[in-house]
Structure 1
Amino acid sequence: MTAARVGVFGLLGSGNLGNDGSLEAVLGHLRAAHPEAVVDALCGGPETVTARYGIPATRLHWYRGEYRTASRAGAVAGKGLGKLVDVVRTAAWVRRHDVVIVPGMGVLEATLPLRPWGFPYALFLLCAGGRLFGTRVALVGVGADTIRDRPTRALVRRAAKLAAYRSYRDTLSRDAMRAMGVDTTRDEVYPDLAFALPTPPAAPAPGTVCVGVMDFHGSNDDRGRADEIHRRYLDGTTRFVRALAAEGRRVRLLTGDRCDAPVVAAILDAVGSPLVTAAEAASLTDLMREAAAADAVVATRYHNLVCALKAGTPTLALSYAAKSDALMERMGLGAYRHPAREVDADRLLAQFRALERESAELRRILAERNRAAARRLEEQFTALTTALFPGADHTHVLREAS
């Protein structure tokens, strides 16, 4: 039997650890269940993806400055030309594949600032190409929300309708797509793909608290007050970290995207304590290892929360979107949430005390919920095989695409 040609697609290798963790989970499944598959990527950081995961990769956008603000005529022209070139590039790439997988990520949402002609447009081109050439495009364990911006909503809705397979990382996402006019009758909900990654062994560091920070400026609808939201978030988080350090607690600052580095630097500078250090995490596995060694975690980014919860560590969410609330509820920690838009250091500290008092019970709950998540993800991968690889021969060895 001819080996299946499988593409993976998304903002992968671009510095977001959550996106790359979803890719790692899907590649693990492909290598175990479909070792004959020939795999390559169309992604944001092709050099990183090739170096880290050993698969050939092509740059997602023809214009290299796609996600930088275009302030000069040349940049504007380059972006405009890039939209036309990407129609041809994406179509040609899709046509070479039997299956294209979009692994996890919040590809159907706008919980962070987003322009319609960036990734939503790229996703639409992918799904339209799949429908045109008969390539099965699968949106696997993705996140979604109800989008208010009309151009973005139109592109996301159409892309979702054109996909051959859809599953979501929470019920909230499926409900949002249904509200935007997508028939979700056959779409299933499974835990985030990162829960399929192996949990590394812990190296306990008693007394340590991990604080996951984020370059947070609000959502796509908050552009007018983005600076105000960011200042409030940074001030409240800094005060919380300072209070922990004043009590002699060791604090490890975690990130989830390279853009979070300035927030870490600002907190380190403001607190000025040797007890507060920054973790050098290059993957979700690194984040899980940090979380597993801590007494407790307080985190903002969605995949910081995923890693802490999967590690079984009591976790408090600085919640910036409904997806964080849904995750915490599903894992049995719905009571431990604090709004990222209005961080009140005193109230956050009180919630943190309550979290630590219930530590033993919360660890028991998380162990139980993690076992359930593992079972559901096994079902997800079985369903994916049935939908995308009917009658596949599993006797070959994984080869790189040429």
Structure 2
Amino acid sequence: MTSANRTAVRVGVCGVLGAGNLGNDGSLEALLGYLRAEHPEAAVDALCSGPEVVTARYGIPATRLHWNRGEYRTASRAGAIAAKGLGKLVDAFRVAAWVRRHDVVIVPGTGVLETTLPLRAWGFPYSMFLLCVAGRLFGTKVALVGVGGDAIGHRPTRALVRWSARLAAYRSYRDAVSRDAVRAMGVDTARDEVYSDLVFSLPTPQAGVPEGPQGPVCVGVMAYYGSNDDRARAEEINRRYLDGMSRFVRALVEDGRPVRLLIGDELDMPAVDAVLDAVDSPLVTASEASSLADLMKETAAADAVVAARYHNLICALKVGTPALAVSYSAKSDALMAQMGLGAYCHPAREVDADRLLEQFRALEQRSAELRRTLTERNQVVARRLEDQFTALTAALFPTTDHTHALREAP
């Protein structure tokens, strides 16, 4: 074994990764790009939901996050419920053992401090709590890097998220809304920084040439059932959302516009099928994108994008395509304001097809101006992410050349 191998920093990456969410996997890809460029000597592996996918796609060893393979299936029988309970106990030991083998553990991006979509306390919030507790016990630096947060109404979930944030050795956020939400939960964020979403650091494909007012439109649809506090009304919310989006797509088709339906998670496919069935037009097709790189190529070729999924919007904005957010949380509104498109947000909870079409037409009228704005804003975002990676190196990979020591979060 060489000296370099003996001293290689052992870096673990943890999250809901390899499970079909393109944004989550894009955050992992962005982090791995940074590690391979700036810390090629680091030995990297993952603790995640889809270890087989992560290993095949990104070439790093990966361990299953949950011992119970039925973790994400609804348990109704006594045996399944017992298996879930046992799994939580087993996971406490498994996570601790995994954390102990590392010098640094990083949770890359994603909304790990929010519940803007339905989320059980004993799912990833519990896993993240175990991760941060183990980090403190074994002296492993746990970093929440470029993460998203929001107000959490469910008390057990809020408690787990609050303690995870407090125990982390490093925290940074993708927007000020997230930092403010974490502060409101009782975490001292005085030394925490706001940068931009990690996905903005991914390579940008060549932007397409706008085809004019009758060019293609990308419309992102999602499995939207409201927030974590809306479980009692989830089906009603979903029906209204799909009805509004179908009416909007039908209006585009009546104007002769080709429409490409995008997703951000495998869970969104039923929503795509519902819109296809409701509109029933050869002008409407479904994208087969399986990565954020694919989504960026789709959005680069479009005249405009209308989407709900946060990382669908990022893909459009990153390639400079004007976008309209069908917003389900404050993070989308904050992103659009940051990129100079704050006027083009529409609530996912109350989709009004006529009003959405009016906003869309106003967006297209300013297309050339907004494309110039996006070019300028992307340059600012790129500089902020360079600052993020510089700060991360100083905090987690200190050398004799660094003057910044890792700060311990209170």
TM-score range, shorter chain: over 0.9
Instruction: Give the Cα separation in 2 of the matches to 1:63 and 1:366.
Output: 44
Query: Greater CA deviation, 174-183 or 195-204?
Result: 195-204
Residue in 2 that maps onto 1:382: 390
List gaps (5 residues or longer) in structure 2. Answer: 402-410
> What amino acid is aligned across from residue 135 of structure 1 in structure 2?
T
- Per the alignment, in what secondary structure is the counterpart of residue 45 of structure 2? strand
What are the equivalent positions in structure 2 for 1:76-115 lying under 5 Å apart? Answer: 76-115=81-120
* One of 18, 21, 27 as aligned partner of 1:16: 21
Residue in 2 that maps onto 1:311: 319
Greater RCO structure (CA 8 Å; 6+ sep)? 1
Q: C-alpha displacement at 1:60, in angstroms? A: 0.4
What are the Cα deviations for residues 128-165 of structure 1, in whole angstroms up to 9, with x where unaligned?
00000000000000000121111000000000100000
> What amino acid is aligned across from residue 197 of structure 1 in structure 2?
L
* One of 148, 161, 167 as aligned partner of 1:162: 167
Residue in 2 that maps onto 1:276: 284
* One of 256, 259, 263 as aligned partner of 2:267: 259
* One of 329, 332, 350 as aligned partner of 1:324: 332
- Per the alignment, in what secondary structure is the counterpart of residue 217 of structure 2? strand
What are the equivalent positions in structure 2 for 1:334-345 lying under 5 Å apart? Answer: 334-345=342-353
Residue in 1 that maps onto 2:224: 216
Q: C-alpha displacement at 1:205, in angstroms? A: 7.0
Question: How many residue pairs are counted as aligned between the two chains?
Answer: 393
Q: Does 1:290 align with 2:298?
A: yes
Q: C-alpha displacement at 1:287, in angstroms? A: 0.7
Residue in 2 that maps onto 1:150: 155
Q: C-alpha displacement at 1:271, in angstroms? A: 1.0
Instruction: Give the Cα separation in 1 of the matches to 2:207 and 2:119.
Output: 37
Residue in 2 that maps onto 1:361: 369
Residue in 1 that maps onto 2:201: 196
Q: C-alpha displacement at 1:204, in angstroms? A: 4.4
Q: C-alpha displacement at 1:68, in angstroms? A: 1.2
Instruction: Give the Cα separation in 1 of the matches to 2:337 and 2:209.
Output: 27
Q: TM-score, normalised by structure 2?
A: 0.95
List gaps (5 residues or longer) in structure 1. Answer: 394-402
Contact 2:117–2:227 (8 Å) recurs in 1: yes
> What amino acid is aligned across from residue 60 of structure 1 in structure 2?
L
> What amino acid is aligned across from residue 82 of structure 1 in structure 2?
G
Instruction: Give the Cα separation in 1 of the matches to 2:220 and 2:76.
Output: 33
* One of 27, 30, 50 as aligned partner of 2:32: 27
What are the Cα deviations for residues 357-389 of structure 1, in whole angstroms up to 9, with x where unaligned?
000110011100000000000000000000000
CA separation of 1:257 and 1:305: change in aligned 2, threshold 3 A: same
- Per the alignment, in what secondary structure is the counterpart of residue 25 of structure 2? helix
Runs of 4+ in 1 over 3 A off after TM superposition: 202-205
What are the Cα deviations for residues 227-259 of structure 1, in whole angstroms up to 9, with x where unaligned?
111011000000111111111111000000000
Instruction: Give the Cα separation in 2 of the matches to 1:33 and 1:25.
Output: 12
Q: C-alpha displacement at 1:202, in angstroms? A: 3.2
Q: Does 1:348 align with 2:356?
A: yes
Instruction: Give the Cα separation in 2 of the matches to 1:323 and 1:221.
Output: 17
Residue in 1 that maps onto 2:10: 5
Question: RMSD between aligned alpha carbons?
Answer: 1.0
Residue in 2 that maps onto 1:61: 66
Instruction: Give the Cα separation in 1 of the matches to 2:10 and 2:282.
Output: 51
Instruction: Give the Cα separation in 2 of the matches to 1:242 and 1:392.
Output: 62
Instruction: Give the Cα separation in 1 of the matches to 2:281 and 2:260.
Output: 12
- Per the alignment, in what secondary structure is the counterpart of residue 317 of structure 1? strand
Contact 2:207–2:320 (8 Å) recurs in 1: no
What are the equivalent positions in structure 2 for 1:387-402 lying under 5 Å apart? Answer: 387-391=395-399
Instruction: Give the Cα separation in 2 of the matches to 1:369 and 1:104.
Output: 20
Residue in 2 that maps onto 1:396: none
Instruction: Give the Cα separation in 1 of the matches to 2:305 and 2:260.
Output: 9
Instruction: Give the Cα separation in 2 of the matches to 1:146 and 1:181.
Output: 12
Instruction: Give the Cα separation in 2 of the matches to 1:41 and 1:49.
Output: 8
- Per the alignment, in what secondary structure is the counterpart of residue 369 of structure 1? helix
> What amino acid is aligned across from residue 316 of structure 1 in structure 2?
L
Q: TM-score, normalised by structure 1?
A: 0.97
